[in-house]
């Protein structure tokens, strides 16, 4: 009943809001208000007299006055009781002590506490700590047993706890269970946890959690913790005391105060603690219990009283492993002596069976018990316990301080758990599998590398798969690297089904979880799987991200997500830059819309789903995307190192992270995403630099090659989508863009020569303009000189990079397909077979007019002519409406604008292979396209209005305004200029600054304008005058247009005015109010002071900051925006408006009627297949390895790495010196013992000589030389 109630309340509390307080009740108080209904305490109900206290104290430890009247009743059964028992003589009631405790003099950090009955189910306590108190799930639980009381802890035990236990636990994310009291071992553990928490980072995923499980009756000042409604927090005074009670230790995160009804007695918590340890040992590790093993629980015995032997025996019978610190005293020394020294005699090299030597074994055990526990009388019972412990000795590990140091404690812990886990290992599994799983759980790759992957063990791929999944889910990249280096085949491991399972484990607090949940809910809603509203009903992604936790099942991951939802998330993030992912697996077309595939896919997923058993086509790229979506830095970098197409993969990671950062709400996560995105951009830049240094031609091919892994995207397209300005600033990228921009013409051609040739076309056949030599001809010449092998390899295996029209003709699509088939034929020829050349007249004509720079120059010149014609029409030749107008020049203007509209239509709907929705979205993202739409709309509006007499003036005004828009559009051509291009960006950013500045200015203008109007004019209802005086006049005051007569009533005002309200309402000018005119003057002075000095200087400062910020990256901004301009004019027809109409007709016939594909697409996208693609990827991989090698060398040569290596060496020297001091100490001890032995022997010899007891003929031996002298000789 209690467990069900707890689960119900847990589910309700997990969806509480984020508000700190609600109705005066704190969130923590609201989370735990159900505790008294579930958790109980125990009270003594039977007073059993302690005969040593003269009837004033019960055997439970409480005084008579502290007992209730029921417990003090004179009953017959009470008189028959001689021994108090908690189960029989106490009863349960609602707990009255729970909440948070704040220690006096400590920091503001509060610890959680709860008083609970010793019979409480461990499930309730565990769920309370993890779900409500917020303790992270443990990867390891170490329960420190023994060492209680006021006795002093030995120094070496303290060091083991500090340098061994807590340090090892900090790297594994462990819970440490002790009594939690400020005495003995509990105090040492608390101090060690505090010191390590102070030295560690502020945010640690593997934080050590110290939990105190103490007897309620043993806690000093426990009355301060009692509050039936809960304390948030309770003020606790941990003062020094000399009684049998003890204070709580402030360094613990949580306290479970176990109440068995006793007071001042130890051991009441032992039963509950043992049950809690057993329950935790059956829970799974990892996120949401996704680990491959149960949570390892280890009990560590430090000294210990006799009562702990029963606890040890019962725990061993349940299979709980123990680690015993030999030399700490008490029961620990007894157990260590039993296990370290053989109890059964051996003969013939074999140990006798324990059954045959039972009597001898018991006798030896009894001897050990009497040796270590001389004060105990019931040796027979203790001997039976010792025998039972000895029979389960395979669960006990020994830590000997003489053999192992504190630094080796983590290895000792691991071996202790592995030793116990071998009991549960099946015969079919590898004997080292459990040890590997523990190492993964602890994230101790150093132990796994040195102990398990040192070459002595042969690992099968199947043995590593579960651990690989655990490492992936729990973000342990070092283990992923280790497994892939030691036998794990990623092709066999990563199936499509396993990839889906990885996406189902994403954190519920991440953005990708929300995106997956959104598409999953939408798919369910469409197919009728769910009813009602939920996450899928959100129309806005921003609303969905900002929704409360009540709309999400935050306690578990998305369990039903498939690759379809993943593909939709990637489509949301990557946009139109690449085609859909995993569409072929789900039987979807590449051009499938967003709404149609839901029912089809859901029906497909209800089937057998054979695709899940198939291998993932691109495993490293898929894992890279999975890691990037979760913002896992180290994991993503490693997967990037392993995947192919390094430059494009890094740019894709940059794109994904920047899109995710726009959706993320947490500031720290946004910052880390942006940093990782910039890092991937830097990686792409670095690898491409190596490629460009190696081969310019191959690096150009790399930039424009379409990738089958990334949905047909190219590096240039992905860099543009990712806003990778730093990558675009690379000299290799700019060299490619310049080569495409100039076409076959030489890049050093002067602009004046271009203009002259543009107006006199036959000059293109002269030497006025120099053209580049055809690439194939150069290769032929080079091949003839070098024997043909080198050029042939470059041509046939890597393909040709296309930069100009002639390149396209040399490598047509049909020839590209036949290139590989004819590879063996070319090796036998003297040079590559060239396609037939066009006549010089046609080829040179195309080389000049098909270059993007020529198209740009023609459009600029014709646009100036267009603006001149437009201005001429508006100023000189703008006729009245028909039939008197328009003029011929105006008709020419209309036709010109019509050709511009046709070009916009072609640019929007007839370029590329994207869907209509994608084209419209891509078109609307460009600000200059919006400017074109505004210009066209105003022109059409003006054209329609000017044709009618009633709207003639409106039409003329629209056309005049439209001329401004067309003229501003001229700024776009400045993007090609190195100095003027960045100015466009500066102007755009300053416009944003002005927009925000106007808010400040509007506040002051409204404040001053309204006050000034109200003070000067008592009554003026006309809206036009109010608007003029409230907004327009203050604006004129800012620029210095101040009329003293209108402000100062002392000045003579010639304008007639009246105070008659009727006349004023009819339109008469009101007279000025002279009552508070002095205040008007003061307000004017204050207004001018604020606006002309403060706000204007603020605007200047904003402009200066914007200018300096852009100016710092002037070259980067220009190179980035240059790409868009080159792409636009590369795809435009050669002729400019209005002659572009002829090009449109030509394209219509050629593309739609004759179905001739465009050859210009090969400038920015080239497909490589087969051998050329493999060779290019191999070459890129080599360059990536060279880049990573250089980066590794730089890192090793850095000051930080040198300091780290120096620190390791110093630590090694210190360790060796400590060992030398220990050896020196032992030698000194041996010397002192030898001196004692020598003196004793001398004394014996003298005594025997004087007594004449021994007579010998041999002379007395003498020490002739020391060992050192003999050694030296």
Give every CB contact of residue 6 below 8 A, 6+ residues apart in sequence. 34, 38, 123, 124, 127, 128
CA distances 873 to 894, 939, 1156, Å, are: 11, 13, 41
SS3 for 1207-1255 is HHHHHHHHHHHHHHHHHHHHHHHHHHHHHHHHHHHHHHHHHHHHHCCCC
User: Per-residue pLDDT tens for 720-746?
Assistant: 999 999 999 999 999 999 998 998 888
Residues composing the chain:
1273
Q: Output the six-digit token pair for 65.
A: 């006055």
Model pTM above 0.85:
no
> How large is the average pLDDT for residues 81-92?
78
CA distance 849 to 757: 10
Do 927 and 984 meet the contact criterion of CB atoms below 8 Å apart? no
27-41, 182-196, 509-523, 1019-1033: the lowest-pLDDT one:
27-41
Give every CB contact of residue 866 below 8 A, 6+ residues apart in sequence. 896, 966, 1137
How far is C-alpha 279 from the geometric centre of its chain's CA atoms? 33
515-519, 815-819, 1054-1058, 1158-1162: the lowest-pLDDT one:
815-819
> How large is the average pLDDT for residues 1233-1241?
88
Half-sphere exposure of 1229 (CA within 13 A, CB side): 6
Q: What is the pLDDT of residue 1037?
A: 87
Q: What is the pLDDT of residue 430?
A: 63
Q: What is the pLDDT of residue 549?
A: 32
What secondary structure does DSSP assign to 75-96, as a single string?
Answer: -HHHHH--S--HHHHEEEEE--
Strand extents, DSSP E, 20-178:
21-22, 25-26, 40-44, 90-94, 98-103, 111-117, 140-145, 174-178
CA distance 631 to 643: 17
CA distance 625 to 655: 11
CA distances 397 to 296, 302, 338, 1206, Å, are: 15, 13, 12, 35
> How large is the average pLDDT for residues 1098-1124?
86
> How large is the average pLDDT for residues 1194-1219?
82
> How large is the average pLDDT for residues 768-778?
67
CA quadruple 1191, 1192, 1193, 1199: dihedral sign: positive
Between 90 and 1273, the more confident residue is 90
737-770: burial string, b at 16+ Cβ within 10 Å, e else: bebbbbbbbeeebeeeebeebbeeeeebeeeebe
Cis amide linkage into residue 1180, ω under 30° from 0: no
Q: What is the pLDDT of residue 254?
A: 92
User: Per-residue pLDDT tens for 130-184?
Assistant: 888 888 888 889 999 988 777 788 888 888 888 778 777 776 778 999 998 888 8
Do 161 and 192 meet the contact criterion of CB atoms below 8 Å apart? yes
Q: Give the residue extent of every domain in the chain.
A: 97-295, 301-342+361-424, 425-486, 489-617, 877-976, 986-1113
516-530, 744-758, 767-781: the lowest-pLDDT one:
767-781
Three-state DSSP class for residue 328: coil
> How large is the average pLDDT for residues 489-509?
91
Between 797 and 301, the more confident residue is 301
Rama region for 1010: left / alpha / beta (φ>0; ψ in -120 to 50; rest):
alpha
> How large is the average pLDDT for residues 100-111?
78
User: Per-residue pLDDT tens for 641-679?
Assistant: 999 899 999 999 999 999 999 999 999 999 999 999 999
Q: What is the pLDDT of residue 895?
A: 96
Do 935 and 969 meet the contact criterion of CB atoms below 8 Å apart? yes
Q: Could you tell me which of 1082, 839, 1120, 876 has the C-alpha nearest to residue 976?
A: 1120
Residue 355 confidence (pLDDT) above 90: no
The model's confidence at residue 624, banded by pLDDT at 50, 70 and 90, is very high
Residue 553 confidence (pLDDT) above 50: no
Q: Could you tell me which of 958, 927, 925, 926 has the C-alpha nearest to residue 943?
A: 958
The model's confidence at residue 819, banded by pLDDT at 50, 70 and 90, is very low
Residue 1035 confidence (pLDDT) above 50: yes
CA distances 112 to 36, 129, 133, 210, Å, are: 15, 9, 7, 11
Residue 1018 confidence (pLDDT) above 60: yes
Between 313 and 1268, the more confident residue is 313
SS3 for 99-119 is EEEEECCCCCCCEEEEEEECC
Do 304 and 179 meet the contact criterion of CB atoms below 8 Å apart? no
Do 692 and 702 meet the contact criterion of CB atoms below 8 Å apart? no
Do 752 and 1137 meet the contact criterion of CB atoms below 8 Å apart? no
CA distances 1250 to 177, 1244, 1254, Å, are: 66, 10, 10
How far is C-alpha 323 from the geometric centre of its chain's CA atoms? 37
The model's confidence at residue 4, banded by pLDDT at 50, 70 and 90, is very low
Q: What is the pLDDT of residue 619?
A: 95
CA distance 688 to 648: 10
Q: What is the pLDDT of residue 899?
A: 95
> How large is the average pLDDT for residues 709-722?
92
User: Per-residue pLDDT tens for 466-484?
Assistant: 889 989 998 999 999 999 9
Residue 113 confidence (pLDDT) above 70: yes
List, in sequence order, every residue forming a beta bridge with 115; answer none if it has no partner.
257
Q: What is the pLDDT of residue 35?
A: 81
User: Per-residue pLDDT tens for 877-920?
Assistant: 999 998 888 999 999 999 999 999 999 988 887 766 666 777 78
CA distance 810 to 800: 9
Mean pLDDT score across all residues of the chain: 79
Q: What is the pLDDT of residue 653?
A: 96
Give every CB contact of residue 218 below 8 A, 6+ residues apart in sequence. 181, 244, 245, 246, 264, 265, 266
Do 181 and 218 meet the contact criterion of CB atoms below 8 Å apart? yes
Backbone angles phi, psi at 255, to 5 degrees: -135, 130
**Percentage of the chain exceeding pLDDT 70:** 79
Give every CB contact of residue 948 below 8 A, 6+ residues apart in sequence. 881, 955
Do 651 and 680 meet the contact criterion of CB atoms below 8 Å apart? yes
User: Per-residue pLDDT tens for 580-607?
Assistant: 888 777 777 654 445 556 666 666 666 6
Q: Output the six-digit token pair for 586.
A: 């789900």
């Amino acid at each position: 009943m209690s467990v069900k109630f707890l689960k119900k309340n847990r589910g309700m509390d997990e969806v509480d809001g984020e508000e700190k307080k609600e109705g005066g009740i704190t969130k923590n108080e609201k989370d735990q208000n159900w505790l008294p209904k579930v958790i109980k305490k125990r009270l003594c109900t039977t007073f059993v007299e302690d005969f040593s206290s003269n009837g004033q104290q019960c055997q439970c430890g409480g005084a008579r006055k502290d007992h209730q009247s029921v417990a003090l009743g004179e009953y017959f059964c009470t008189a028959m009781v001689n021994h108090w028992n908690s189960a029989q003589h106490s009863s349960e009631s609602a707990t009255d002590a729970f909440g948070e405790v704040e220690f006096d003099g400590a920091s503001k950090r509060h610890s959680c506490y709860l008083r609970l009955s010793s019979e409480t189910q461990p499930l309730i306590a565990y769920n309370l700590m993890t779900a409500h108190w917020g303790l992270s799930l443990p990867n390891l639980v170490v329960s420190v047993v023994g060492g209680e009381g006021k006795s002093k802890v030995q120094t070496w035990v303290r060091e083991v706890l500090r340098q061994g236990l807590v340090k090892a636990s900090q790297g594994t994310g462990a819970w440490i269970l002790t009594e939690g009291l400020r005495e003995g071992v509990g105090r040492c553990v608390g101090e060690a946890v505090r010191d390590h928490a102070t030295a560690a980072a502020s945010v640690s995923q593997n934080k050590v959690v110290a939990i105190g499980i103490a007897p309620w009756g043993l806690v000093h000042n426990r009355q301060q913790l009692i509050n039936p409604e809960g304390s948030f927090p309770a003020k606790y005074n941990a003062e020094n005391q000399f009684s049998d009670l003890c204070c709580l230790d402030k360094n613990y995160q949580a306290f479970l105060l176990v109440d068995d009804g006793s007071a001042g007695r130890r051991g009441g918590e032992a039963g509950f603690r043992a049950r809690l340890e057993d329950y935790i040992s059956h829970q799974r590790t990892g996120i949401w219990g996704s680990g491959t093993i149960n949570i390892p629980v280890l009990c560590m015995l430090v000294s210990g009283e006799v009562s702990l032997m029963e606890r040890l025996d019962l725990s061993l019978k349940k299979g709980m492993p123990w680690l015993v610190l030999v030399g700490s005293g008490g029961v620990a020394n007894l157990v260590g002596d039993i296990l370290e020294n053989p109890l059964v005699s051996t003969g013939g090299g074999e140990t006798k069976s324990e059954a045959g030597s039972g009597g001898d074994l018991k006798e030896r055990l009894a001897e050990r018990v009497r040796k270590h526990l001389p004060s105990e009388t019931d040796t027979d019972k203790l001997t039976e316990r010792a025998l039972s412990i000895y029979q389960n000795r395979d669960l006990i590990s020994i830590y000997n301080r003489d053999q192992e140091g504190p630094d080796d404690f983590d290895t000792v812990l691991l071996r202790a758990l592995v030793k116990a886990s071998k009991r549960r290992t099946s015969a079919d599994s590898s004997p080292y599998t459990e040890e590997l799983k523990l190492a993964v759980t602890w994230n101790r790759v150093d132990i796994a590398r040195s102990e398990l992957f040192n070459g002595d063990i042969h690992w099968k791929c199947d043995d590593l798969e579960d651990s690989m999944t655990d490492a992936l889910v729990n973000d342990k990249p070092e283990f992923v690297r280790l497994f892939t280096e030691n036998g794990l085949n990623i092709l066999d491991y990563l199936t499509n089904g396993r990839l889906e399972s990885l996406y189902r484990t994403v954190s519920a607090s991440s953005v990708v979880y929300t995106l997956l949940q959104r598409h999953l809910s939408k798919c369910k809603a469409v197919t009728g799987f769910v009813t009602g509203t939920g996450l899928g009903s959100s129309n806005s992604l921003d609303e969905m991200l900002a929704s409360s936790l009540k709309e999400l099942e935050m306690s578990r991951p998305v369990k039903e997500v498939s690759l379809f939802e993943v593909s939709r998330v990637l489509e949301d993030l990557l946009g139109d830059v690449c085609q859909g992912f995993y569409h072929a697996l789900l039987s979807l077309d590449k051009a499938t819309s967003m709404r149609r595939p839901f029912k089809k896919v859901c029906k497909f997923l209800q089937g057998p789903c054979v695709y899940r058993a198939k291998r993932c086509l691109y495993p490293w790229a898929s894992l890279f995307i999975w890691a990037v979506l979760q913002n896992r830095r180290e994991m993503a970098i490693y997967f990037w190192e392993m995947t192919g197409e390094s430059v494009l993969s890094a740019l894709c990671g940059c794109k994904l992270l920047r899109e995710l950062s726009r959706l993320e709400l947490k500031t720290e996560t946004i910052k880390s995403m942006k940093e990782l995105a910039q890092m991937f951009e830097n990686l792409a830049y670095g690898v491409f630099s190596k490629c460009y240094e190696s081969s310019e031609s191959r690096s150009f091919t790399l930039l424009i090659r379409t990738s089958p892994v990334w949905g047909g995207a190219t590096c240039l397209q992905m860099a543009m989508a990712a806003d990778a300005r730093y990558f675009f600033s690379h000299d290799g990228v700019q060299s490619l863009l310049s080569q495409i921009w100039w076409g076959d013409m030489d890049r050093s051609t002067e602009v004046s020569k271009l203009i002259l040739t543009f107006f006199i076309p036959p000059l293109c056949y002269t030497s006025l303009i120099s053209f580049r030599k055809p690439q194939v001809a150069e290769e032929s010449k080079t091949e003839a000189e070098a024997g043909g092998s080198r050029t042939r390899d470059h041509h046939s295996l890597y393909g040709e990079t296309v930069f100009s029209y002639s390149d396209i003709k040399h490598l047509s699509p049909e020839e590209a397909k036949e290139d590989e088939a004819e590879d063996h034929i070319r090796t036998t020829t003297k040079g590559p077979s060239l396609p037939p050349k066009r006549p010089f007249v046609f080829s040179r004509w195309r080389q000049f007019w098909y270059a993007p720079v020529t198209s740009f120059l023609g459009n600029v010149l014709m646009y100036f002519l267009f603006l001149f014609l437009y201005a001429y029409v508006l100023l000189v030749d703008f006729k009245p409406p028909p039939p008197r107008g328009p003029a011929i020049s105006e008709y020419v203007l209309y036709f010109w604008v019509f050709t511009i509209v046709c070009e916009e239509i072609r640019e929007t709907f007839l370029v590329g292979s994207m869907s209509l929705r994608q084209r419209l979205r891509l078109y609307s993202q460009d600000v200059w396209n919006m400017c074109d739409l505004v210009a066209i709309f105003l022109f059409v509006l003006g054209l329609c209005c000017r044709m009618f007499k009633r709207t003639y003036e409106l039409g003329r005004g629209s056309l005049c305004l439209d001329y401004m828009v067309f003229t501003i559009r001229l700024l776009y051509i400045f993007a090609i200029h190195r100095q003027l291009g960045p100015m466009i960006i500066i102007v755009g950013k300053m416009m944003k600054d002005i927009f925000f500045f106007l808010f400040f200015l509007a506040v002051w203008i409204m404040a001053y304008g309204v006050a000034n109007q109200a003070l000067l004019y008592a009554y003026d209802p006309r809206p036009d005058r109010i608007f003029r005086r409230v907004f327009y006049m203050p604006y004129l005051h800012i620029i210095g247009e101040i009329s003293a007569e209108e402000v100062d009533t002392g000045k003579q005002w010639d304008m007639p005015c009246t105070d008659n309200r009727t006349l004023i309402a009819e339109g008469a000018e009101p007279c000025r109010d002279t009552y508070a005119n002095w205040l008007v003057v003061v307000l004017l002075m204050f207004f001018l002071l604020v606006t002309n000095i403060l706000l204007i200087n603020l605007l200047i400062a904003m402009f200066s900051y914007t200018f300096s910020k852009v100016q710092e990256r002037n070259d980067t901004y220009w190179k980035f925006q240059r790409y868009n301009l080159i792409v636009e004019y590369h795809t435009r027809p050669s002729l400019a408006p209005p002659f572009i109409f002829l090009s449109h007709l030509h394209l219509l016939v050629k593309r739609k009627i004759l179905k001739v594909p465009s050859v210009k697409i090969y400038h920015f996208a080239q497909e490589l297949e087969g051998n050329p693609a493999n060779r290019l990827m191999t070459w890129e991989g080599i360059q990536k390895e060279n880049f990573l090698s250089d980066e590794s060398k730089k890192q090793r040569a850095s000051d930080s790495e040198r300091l780290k290596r120096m620190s390791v060496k110093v630590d090694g020297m210190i360790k060796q010196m400590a060992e030398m001091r220990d050896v020196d100490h032992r030698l000194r001890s041996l010397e002192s013992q030898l001196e004692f032995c020598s003196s004793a022997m001398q004394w014996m010899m003298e005594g025997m000589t004087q007594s004449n007891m021994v007579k010998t003929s041999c002379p007395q031996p003498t020490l002739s030389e020391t060992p050192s002298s003999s050694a030296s000789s």
